[in-house]
């Protein structure tokens, strides 16, 4: 890629590094957008859904054998959340009528603004389009909205994810036509 990093399909051996990266990114990149309580609560509604790795739809970006970014897409109904999140739905979507889901996009805080998120997003969109999906949707964090808007996603609706401690985490459902 001429960037010093490469992208590949994530596998089960990446899970620990992915979870560490997600935790680091949530802790460092959300502070300008959320209260400390919301940042802490974000870990309850965000994270890795290992179904993405099992489905072969999750990407890892590595530099010098170190994970610096990750993200994926899904042909399943769940819009956001990790293995530990309530309300997950593994039902398969119909590409002729349902949008693919862009899921769990994270960049190492020391590597933001280097095109990593955009490259993952392009790979997700291409893979989803190759399976016949005509649109994609995602649940953006407030920190992620600028990336997605720059990539052509438009807000559908803001919403708040509820947590067990009663803290509400703001998100924005966004969508884009593929192709």
Where do the domains of the chain lie? 6-80+89-177
Q: 6-80+89-177 — its CATH code?
A: 3.40.630.30
State pTM to two decimals: 0.95
Grouping H, G, I as helix, E, B as strand and the rest as coil, residue 93 is: coil
- Residue 103 CA to residue 118 CA, distance in Å, equals 13
- What is the DSSP secondary-structure string of 15-73? HHHHHHHHHHHHHHHSTTTS-HHHHHHHHHH-S--THHHHTT-EEEEEETTEEEEEEEE
Percent of the chain residues past pLDDT 90, beyond the cut? 93
Q: Give tens-digit pLDDT for 36-77.
A: 999 999 999 999 999 999 999 999 999 999 999 999 999 999
Grouping H, G, I as helix, E, B as strand and the rest as coil, residue 176 is: strand
CB atoms within 10 A of CB 126: 12
Q: What average pLDDT does range 137-148 have in this prediction?
A: 97
Q: Give tens-digit pLDDT for 100-121.
A: 999 999 999 999 999 999 999 9
Q: Which residues have a Cβ under 8 Å from the Cβ of 135 and sit 6 or more positions away? A: 99, 100, 175, 176, 177, 178
């Amino acid at each position: 890629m001429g960037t010093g990093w490469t992208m590949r399909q994530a596998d089960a051996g990446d899970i620990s590094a992915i979870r560490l990266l997600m935790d680091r990114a949530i802790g460092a990149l959300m502070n300008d957008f959320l209260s400390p309580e919301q940042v802490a609560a974000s870990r309850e509604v965000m994270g890795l859904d290992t179904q993405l790795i099992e489905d072969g739809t999750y990407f890892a970006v590595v530099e010098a054998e170190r994970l610096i970014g990750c993200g994926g897409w899904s042909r399943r109904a769940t819009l956001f959340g990790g293995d530990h999140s309530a309300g997950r739905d593994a039902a398969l979507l119909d590409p002729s009528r349902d949008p693919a889901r862009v899921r769990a996009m994270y960049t190492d805080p020391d590597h933001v603004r280097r095109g990593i998120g955009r490259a993952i997003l392009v790979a997700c969109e291409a893979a989803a389009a190759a399976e016949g999906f005509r649109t994609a949707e995602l649940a953006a964090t407030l920190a992620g909205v600028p990336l997605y808007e720059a990539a052509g996603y438009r807000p559908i609706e803001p919403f708040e994810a509820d947590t067990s401690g009663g803290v509400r985490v703001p998100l924005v459902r966004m969508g884009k036509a593929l192709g």
